[in-house]
Amino acid sequence: MDAIAVASRQNNTANPLSLAIREFQGSLSREENAALLTHSSTGLDATGILSFTAEIDRVNANRRSRCVSSRLFGVLESVQAFSGIADTFISSHSEIAALVWGSVKFALLAINNVVSFFDKLSETFLRLGSCCPRFSEYRLLFPESTKLQNLLCSFYASIVKFCTKAMNAIGNPGTTLTRAVWKPFEKEFAVFECDLKKQGAELKEEITLAAEQAASRERAFGRSFRTEIRKVNQAKTERQLKKDRARSLAVKAKLLERLPAYDYVGSLKRMRKKRYGSTGSWLYNTKDFNAWITEDCSSLFCFTGILGSGKSIVTSATVDQLLCNPRSLDTRLVFFFCEPDFASSMIAPVILGSLIRQLVNIETLDNDLEQRFKDVLENGYPDATDLEPLLQLAVNKNSVVTFIIDGIDACESTDRKLIFGILSRISIGATSMVKLLISGRESLINDISKFFDTCRHITTTCPEGQTDIPWYIDSIMKERIEGSDLVLGDEHLEQEIKDTLIQGANGM
């Protein structure tokens, strides 16, 4: 905390943030501050938010309500993006930026233990997501605009202050939140929300102005580059290097945007919303699954069941389990859900492009990879065979890659066979270990056997798969009754309906 105080005096840009962080740290014990540092140093990579929200849902697995982690995405994505770049202009004490991310994570995990408070907090976060600045809108502007830097710091300082107030309101995490404690903070929720919306509007205006100024400077720079380059001093040279790096990253970002892709995170969020409590987690705990995920060789695991048996829900729960408990630190988890309601998710190039996008980003796209990507992507829309060598290169950059693909049985036969053939060849030719999980209807087994020699196989009708049915029926009936969608008035009738539904489930 003393170091942050020094940083505050040295750098006015970071001052609101450093003060907010000091206040947050001051409300914690020594042990909690140690935990805060741990939270601050992790989760700033591509899967950081997915892993954190999966952990939130895992802790709440025994609740008989829908998963709420998706409400947090807007604010978390904004905070994570800011924390990832803020140290470039808070140079005197760069860990302040990471502590912003760590403070929000720490507060959410603590407040998560107070169910009623957390539900209200998550509803506020859902609304605030729309007023948070988007990283894509300011990533190339903030190095040149001190005012934009100040507004960004003030905005995220307000979020940290809110987390501090929320922590103080609940006292010791795990205690019961009384109405007397909640009432005054309910008013502060509204004040905070109004203030953040005003700050968000001011930020958007400044971003628009900064963009116009940057465009003007860029035009002037183009006209006078040859003359001005001779006049720059060492400081300007360093500044130019930073701008060159920003341009390089922008070029790489545009190149990756040429990949056919689909909102795979949105698919996972939709599947999470359909889950109740800990339903769907049974597959992860089976002997066959654990034997497959832990064996030290490339291998295939098939998970099948009839239409409507909850395969996608179970698969999404398995993705979350692996996000929370990776096989090893050097394992990359890549997933895709084919969704019949979204035609673009059923096409082979889109599926392959989405897999590649999860394995490669602007930081890992080295010169060799960048050139190979340009050769393929700058010649028009690539087909599946064009993308195969790119996926092979991306896989080989990792030690272990786990692919999880759900619902591919709903794709056209041509697309399905293209995917199976490419994944089979990549598994054989990879220099890394490739673990592949495919889930779908029973008919998949015939196609898979034409491309893969062996696979482990489990179905939704196995004994472990039946354990979710009573839980699900009980949860959804409670939800209908509490929402007045189902009126019975007779406990015996309620139990009779449950028993009938369980007996008639037939693996559904």
Instruction: Write out pLDDT tens, residues 346-386.
Output: 999 999 999 999 999 888 888 888 889 988 888 888 999 99
Rounded to an integer, what distance in angstroms lies between the CA atom of residue 10 and that of residue 21? Answer: 16
Residue 259 falls inside a structural domain: no
Please give the pLDDT value at position 11: 47
Rounded to an integer, what distance in angstroms lies between the CA atom of residue 156 and that of residue 196? Answer: 9
Residue 345 falls inside a structural domain: yes
pTM of the prediction?
0.63
The C-alpha angle 67, 71, 73, rounded to 5 degrees, equals 115
Q: What is the pLDDT of residues 175-225, one digit of tens each?
A: 455 555 556 667 777 888 888 889 888 888 888 888 777 777 777 776 666
52, 105 Cβ separation under 8 angstroms: yes
Residue 396, token pair as written in the block? 């080989």
Q: What is the pLDDT of residues 408-421, one digit of tens each?
A: 999 999 999 999 99
CATH number of the domain residue 416 falls in: 3.40.50.300
Please give the pLDDT value at position 387: 95
Residue 256 falls inside a structural domain: no
Statement to judge: residues 289 and 217 lie in one domain: no
Q: Note the residue count of the chain.
A: 508
269, 73 Cβ separation under 8 angstroms: yes
Statement to judge: residues 186 and 327 lie in one domain: no
pLDDT of 10 over the 90 cut: no
117 CB-side CA count, 13 A: 29
When pLDDT is averaged across residues 300-308 and rounded to a whole number, the result is 92
Statement to judge: residues 46 and 140 lie in one domain: yes
Statement to judge: residues 477 and 406 lie in one domain: no
Residue 313 falls inside a structural domain: yes
- Closest by CA to 57, choosing from 100, 132, 112, 9, is 112
Statement to judge: residues 294 and 216 lie in one domain: no
Count how many domains the chain has.
3
Rounded to an integer, what distance in angstroms lies between the CA atom of residue 140 and that of residue 137? Answer: 8
- Closest by CA to 144, choosing from 288, 75, 240, is 240
Higher pLDDT, 142 or 257: 257
When pLDDT is averaged across residues 4-13 and rounded to a whole number, the result is 43
Q: Alpha helices of 171-299 — where are they, by DSSP H?
A: 179-228, 234-257, 264-274, 287-294
Domain end: 228, 254, 286, which one?
228
Give whole-number Cα distances, 362 to 118, 232, 394, 422, 502, in Å. 35, 29, 13, 25, 50
Rounded to an integer, what distance in angstroms lies between the CA atom of residue 382 and that of residue 360? Answer: 17
Instruction: Provide the β-strand partners of residue 332.
Output: 401
Domain end: 206, 228, 250, which one?
228
Rounded to an integer, what distance in angstroms lies between the CA atom of residue 132 and that of residue 74? Answer: 7
Which of 236-245, 254-263, 315-324 has the lowest average pLDDT? 236-245
Statement to judge: residues 407 and 477 lie in one domain: no
Statement to judge: residues 218 and 315 lie in one domain: no
Alpha carbon 309 to its chain's center: 26
Statement to judge: residues 472 and 451 lie in one domain: no
pLDDT of 162 over the 70 cut: yes
Instruction: Domain of residue 64: give its range.
Output: 2-228
Residue 275 falls inside a structural domain: yes
**Phi, psi (5° rounding) for residue 333?**
-100, 125
Reduced to 3 states (helix: H, G, I; strand: E, B; else coil), residue 359 is helix
Residue 497, token pair as written in the block? 């309906």
Which of 163-172, 290-299, 439-448 has the lowest average pLDDT? 163-172
Statement to judge: residues 439 and 496 lie in one domain: no
| CB-neighbour burial class of residue 18 (10 A; exposed 0-12, middle 13-18, buried 19+) | buried
pLDDT of 174 over the 50 cut: no
Rounded to an integer, what distance in angstroms lies between the CA atom of residue 456 and that of residue 267? Answer: 26
Statement to judge: residues 461 and 313 lie in one domain: yes
Residue 235 falls inside a structural domain: no
Reduced to 3 states (helix: H, G, I; strand: E, B; else coil), residue 310 is coil
Residue 135 falls inside a structural domain: yes
Please give the pLDDT value at position 394: 94
pLDDT of 495 over the 80 cut: no
Please give the pLDDT value at position 253: 83
Task: Grade residue 5 by pLDDT with cuts at 50, 70 and 90.
Answer: very low
- Closest by CA to 407, choosing from 449, 451, 438, is 438
Q: Kindly state the percentage of the chain with pLDDT values over 90.
A: 32
When pLDDT is averaged across residues 438-461 and rounded to a whole number, the result is 93
129, 79 Cβ separation under 8 angstroms: no
Residue 38, token pair as written in the block? 């741990």
The owner of tokens 């209807």 is: 441
Quick one: three-class SS letters along 43-58? CCCCCHHHHHHHHHHH
Q: What is the pLDDT of residues 22-79, one digit of tens each?
A: 999 998 889 988 888 888 877 667 688 888 888 888 877 666 556 677 888 888 888 8
H or E segment at 5?
Answer: helix 2-10
324, 331 Cβ separation under 8 angstroms: no
Residue 5, token pair as written in the block? 């105080």
Most confident of 100-109, 141-150, 269-278, 451-460: 451-460
Average pLDDT of the chain is 81
Q: What percent of the chain is helix, strand and coil (3-state, nearest 5)?
A: 70, 5, 25
Residue 508 falls inside a structural domain: no
Higher pLDDT, 4 or 175: 175
Statement to judge: residues 316 and 355 lie in one domain: yes
Sign of the CA dihedral running 50, 56, 62, 65: negative
Q: Order of strands across the sheet with 456-459? A: 331-337, 400-406, 433-440, 299-304, 456-459
Rounded to an integer, what distance in angstroms lies between the CA atom of residue 13 and that of residue 29? Answer: 28
Reduced to 3 states (helix: H, G, I; strand: E, B; else coil), residue 402 is strand
Statement to judge: residues 141 and 185 lie in one domain: yes
